[in-house]
Amino acid sequence: MDLFKLFACLGAAPALGVFATQAVSFVPPASSPLSTSANYVGINNGSLPIEQIVPGRVFDRFIQIWLENTDFSVANSTAEFRSLAERGILLSQYFALTHPSQPNYAATIAGSFFGIADDSVHDIPSNVSTMVDVLEHGGISWAAYMENLPADGFNGASFSSVNYVTPGAADYPFYMRKHNPPILFDSVLKNPSRLARVRNFNDFAVDATAGALPQWLFVTPNMVNDAHDTTIDFAANWLQFWLEPLLEDERFNNERTLILLTFDENESQNQNNNIFGLLLGGAVPSSMKGTVDTTYYTHYSAMSTVQSNWGLGCLGRGDTDPVMSNVYELVASATGFENNPVSGKKIPLTNASGATPGPLNPSPSLRTPWPAANSSAICAGGGPVIATPL
């Protein structure tokens, strides 16, 4: 494929940022996915330690890669995504939880977005547990890799750096806190050893090269590579640059790796929130490559699937919701988890913004106290409800 093909940013979609009126072509931020680069900003401080691998039922490593604001049909009709779908399991009934971006990122590790309906800075109180607690309780190592994060654990709302895409232009806000799940939670923000696991892409390069990638990874590309300020074709070019070579690299993807490539939300808010989700990696058996799984999933499914795979505890929030937390069939069929057959009109409408009550809902009439976790919830992994941070 021609990585440097010029294309125009089309349409009047709200996702388009300052590039809306100018043609931009993909520019690789580094010479290869495992090279460090000044474009990634934050220097590397040394790799994470190589930690003990806790074996799971279906996979030993789970890597989530989130792109931005794209309808299912748009991704599914883009050549690079079709090509990847031939190598994985397409989740055709995968739905985001709400709009805009930030609440989806918060919910995917907390099992709730607590009523958030904006992209403003929120500090979720230190008594709210997240997947970080569930993982650490089970001895599963984790890290979040944020492209263009200026320093590990950086807590600014955004960060602008040299515009390597349009040389000579002003510094560009490539990094956004709203797309960084762990940093939204004080249980991470106020804990230095956890903060050191909120890392940038120079750390990724060094960790992967050292064979030190943890067992649970969340990967957020920058605001151009994730399609937020650009187009699906720009993100497709980034996948060709970054993901394609890594799929062939044992330090990232081996026969015990499961990768979820997905989007935070659907672009067309007047329709329900169906997004493209694709399971890739060596843990997908050859016989299932190029297949479609039509089970209803949401972002909560990434939590329940991880819990089911490793026999972990849970949060007793959305991750145990009887409708919204189906476990990927690839894993459910191995662990005996019974999915709920939700389809058609029974699929909840999750395309509204601000309609869900919660402590961070902007509307006073929909604001509630901080909810307690459901301490009698049944965890997909059979472990305990982890109601407060470790």
Ligand X SMILES: *[C@@H]1O[C@H](CO)[C@@H](O)[C@H](O)[C@H]1NC(C)=O
**226 assigned to active site:** no
Binding mask 123-142 for ligand X (x = CB under 6 A): --x-x---------------
Q: Does 4 bind ligand X (CB under 6 A)?
A: no
Measured CA to CA, the distance from residue 383 to residue 228 in angstroms comes to 37
Q: Does 351 bind ligand X (CB under 6 A)?
A: yes
The region of 140-148, 215-223, 231-239, 267-275 touching ligand X under the rule CB under 6 A is 267-275
Measured CA to CA, the distance from residue 102 to residue 110 in angstroms comes to 12
Q: Does 374 bind ligand X (CB under 6 A)?
A: yes
Q: Does 268 bind ligand X (CB under 6 A)?
A: yes
Q: Does 272 bind ligand X (CB under 6 A)?
A: yes
Nearest to 321 by CA among 343, 301, 350, 349: 301
Q: Does 366 bind ligand X (CB under 6 A)?
A: no
Q: Does 120 bind ligand X (CB under 6 A)?
A: no
Rounded to a whole number of angstroms, the minimum distance from the CB of residue 325 to ligand X is 11
Q: Does 368 bind ligand X (CB under 6 A)?
A: no
Measured CA to CA, the distance from residue 62 to residue 44 in angstroms comes to 23
Binding mask 167-206 for ligand X (x = CB under 6 A): ----------------------------------------
Indicate the residue among 49 and 125 with the shorter CB distance to ligand X.
Answer: 125
Which residue in 133, 229, 264, 319 is the catalytic one?
229
The region of 42-50, 234-242, 249-257, 280-288 touching ligand X under the rule CB under 6 A is 42-50
Q: Does 38 bind ligand X (CB under 6 A)?
A: no
According to DSSP, residue 94 is labeled: E
Cα 12 to chain centroid distance, Å, stands at 26
Measured CA to CA, the distance from residue 130 to residue 180 in angstroms comes to 14
Indicate the residue among 168 and 364 with the shorter CB distance to ligand X.
Answer: 364
| Tokens representing residue 130 in the block | 């997240």
If one counts every other C-beta atom within 10 angstroms of the C-beta of residue 120, the result is 12
- Helix-, strand-, coil-residue percentages of the chain, each rounded to 5: 25, 15, 60
43-82 residues near ligand X, rule: CB under 6 A: 43, 45, 71-73, 76, 82
Measured CA to CA, the distance from residue 103 to residue 116 in angstroms comes to 5
Size of the site for ligand X (CB under 6 A): 29
Among 352, 362, 367, 390, binds ligand X (CB under 6 A): 352
Q: Does 372 bind ligand X (CB under 6 A)?
A: yes
Q: Does 92 bind ligand X (CB under 6 A)?
A: yes
Measured CA to CA, the distance from residue 300 to residue 325 in angstroms comes to 5
Contacts of 88 (CB under 8 A, 6+ apart): 259, 261, 278, 279, 280, 281, 284, 289, 290
* CB-neighbour burial class of residue 84 (10 A; exposed 0-12, middle 13-18, buried 19+): buried
Q: Does 155 bind ligand X (CB under 6 A)?
A: no
Measured CA to CA, the distance from residue 234 to residue 364 in angstroms comes to 40
Q: Does 349 bind ligand X (CB under 6 A)?
A: yes
Among 21, 270, 286, 365, binds ligand X (CB under 6 A): 270
Where on the phi/psi map is residue 69: left (φ > 0), alpha (ψ -120 to 50), or beta?
Answer: left
Q: Rule CB under 6 A: which residues touch ligand X? A: 42-43, 45, 71-73, 76, 82, 92, 125, 127, 151-152, 266, 268-272, 274, 349, 351-352, 370, 372, 374, 376-378
Which of the residues are catalytic? 229
